[in-house]
């Protein structure tokens, strides 16, 4: 196994704990936690990545001949998928065919010492292989089994294959996204999967805290169709109490105005938000239309949203006569909320992202230095770190199995039988 390379986070050095040597940093907060990542593609594996970023020992288990499809998603360099370098970071990669007796036995040996197991097979698949919750919890009563599926473990749709795209459609996200009169619009990236990954990591930590109280692990049943519905806000309440269905409004909001993207004189785009009444008033004074703030309808966000055409004309006309730099400077001086519309090239150059260390360079033995997103948040005492980028398929199989006590001959026999 390639020696992991520690990537410093932009936070100050953590204060040593009283029991640590004077100059020794505190261990990462999830050090000692063993996670088995049996999942594929995005929601489950990304949840495991988030745990690995803060010190968990994540063992990525893939089929010997059918690796995680995320290795082949998106652009590749020298035949190596770049998405995997992000998704597979801080994980040790092994191969096991869980449907074979040998693969099942090795998985059970790994599970005996695992704190968390994350899987996303269709309901009933683990049970078919003799690896269901009853078996896993008997071997290790303290393990947490996170089951991440499109529709959950029960219900009329539970047997269906489920992906984030279906969640984006079924949750109401696509119906509310797009221009008025235009088609429902899906995001061009894994939005629902990413939200589900965040929810799964939270659920796992909640279950582990529950284990600290009860001494027992439990099953996390997470359906990808649910977390995205949660972040869509009070739409169920609105419909339940008022019969209101949120329409497609493009970049506008039904809750406040002006709220849109506006083109500058030099061809850039700027986003303006006026969720606070005081900010809306500052914007109108800045663009030379202070009389609009005296209109009765201007006093509420909903009232302003009802007159978005008037406000957009005022703000858009003013921004259209100024360059991006001029408009940004004027808005900042007026303490009004504005931001440039970036693509990834702008993100990599932005001074705020640089100050936060949002993008870091990670050494990689396959491709050389890689720039990717840093860990998700900063902890002052026990920060996370990117120790290495995604590893080649099965790169750590022999090392992990040797840790279980398997001899070279036993590993060779498993490989000969197709279990590895």
Residues forming the active site = 193
**29-to-22, 94, 146, 203 alpha-carbon distances in Å:** 19, 24, 20, 17
Residue 66 in tokens: 């059918």
Assign 193 to helix, strand or coil.
Answer: helix
Where b means 16+ CB within 10 Å and e means fewer, 336-347 reads bbbebeeeeeee
Select from 42, 77, 31 the least CA-distant residue to 371. Answer: 77
- Give the separation between CA 199 and CA 193, rounded to whole angstroms: 10
* Token code pair at residue 344: 């990834």
Residues facing 76 on adjacent strands: 81
Q: Which residues contact 121 (CB under 8 A, 6 or more apart)?
A: 38, 149
Token code pair at residue 24: 């020794």
Residue 167 contacts residue 150 (beta carbons within 8 Å) = yes
Tell me the three-class secondary structure of 25-61, residue by residue: CCCCCCCCCEEEECCCCCHHHHHHHHHHCCCCEEEEE
Residues 6 or more apart whose CB falls under 8 angstroms from that of 392 comprise 93, 366
Would you mind telling me the total number of residues written for the chain in this entry? 420
For residue 200, give the H/E element and its range: helix 191-214
DSSP secondary structure string, 125-161?
HHHHTT-SHHHHHHH-TT-EEEEEESS-SSSTTTTS-
- Eight-state DSSP code of residue 232: T
Asked if residues 404 and 395 have their Cβ atoms less than 8 Å apart, the reply is no
Nearest to 88 by CA among 402, 390, 307: 390
């Amino acid at each position: 196994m390639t020696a992991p390379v520690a990537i410093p986070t932009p936070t100050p050095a953590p204060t040593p704990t009283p029991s640590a040597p004077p100059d020794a940093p505190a261990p990462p907060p999830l050090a000692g936690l063993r996670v088995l990542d049996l999942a594929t593609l995005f929601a489950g594996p990304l949840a495991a990545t988030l745990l690995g970023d803060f010190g968990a020992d994540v063992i990525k288990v893939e089929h010997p001949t059918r690796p995680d499809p995320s290795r082949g998603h998106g652009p590749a360099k020298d035949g190596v998928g770049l998405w995997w370098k992000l998704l597979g970071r801080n994980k040790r990669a092994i191969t096991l065919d869980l449907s074979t007796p040998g693969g099942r036995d090795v998985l059970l040996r790994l599970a005996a010492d695992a704190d968390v197991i994350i899987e996303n097979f269709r309901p009933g698949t683990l049970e078919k292989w003799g690896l269901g919750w009853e078996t896993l919890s008997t071997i290790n009563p303290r393990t947490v089994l996170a089951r991440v599926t499109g529709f959950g473990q029960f219900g009329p749709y539970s047997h269906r294959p489920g992906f984030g795209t279906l969640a984006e459609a079924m949750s109401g996200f696509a119906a509310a996204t797009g221009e008025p009169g235009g088609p429902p619009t899906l995001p061009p990236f894994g939005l629902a999967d990413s939200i589900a990954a965040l929810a799964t990591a939270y659920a796992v930590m909640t279950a582990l805290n529950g284990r600290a109280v009860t001494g027992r692990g439990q099953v996390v049943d997470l359906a990808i169709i649910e977390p995205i519905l949660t972040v869509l806000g009070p739409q169920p309440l609105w419909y339940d109490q008022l019969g209101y269905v949120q329409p497609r409004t493009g970049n506008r909001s039904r809750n406040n105005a002006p709220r849109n993207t506006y083109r500058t004189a030099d061809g850039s785009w700027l986003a303006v938000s006026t969720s606070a009444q005081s900010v809306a008033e500052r914007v109108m004074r800045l663009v030379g239309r202070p009389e609009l703030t005296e209109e009765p309808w201007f006093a509420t966000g909903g009232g302003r949203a009802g007159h978005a055409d008037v406000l957009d004309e005022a703000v858009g006309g003013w921004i259209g006569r100024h360059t991006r730099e001029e408009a940004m400077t004027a808005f900042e001086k007026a303490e009004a909320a504005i931001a440039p519309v970036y693509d990834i090239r702008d993100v990599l150059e932005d001074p705020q992202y640089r100050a936060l260390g949002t993008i870091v360079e990670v050494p990689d033995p396959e491709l050389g230095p890689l720039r990717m997103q840093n860990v998700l948040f900063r902890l002052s005492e026990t920060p996370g770190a990117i120790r290495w980028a995604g590893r080649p398929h099965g790169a750590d199989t022999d090392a992990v199995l040797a840790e279980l006590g398997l001899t070279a001959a036993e590993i060779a026999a498993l490989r000969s039988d197709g279990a590895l």
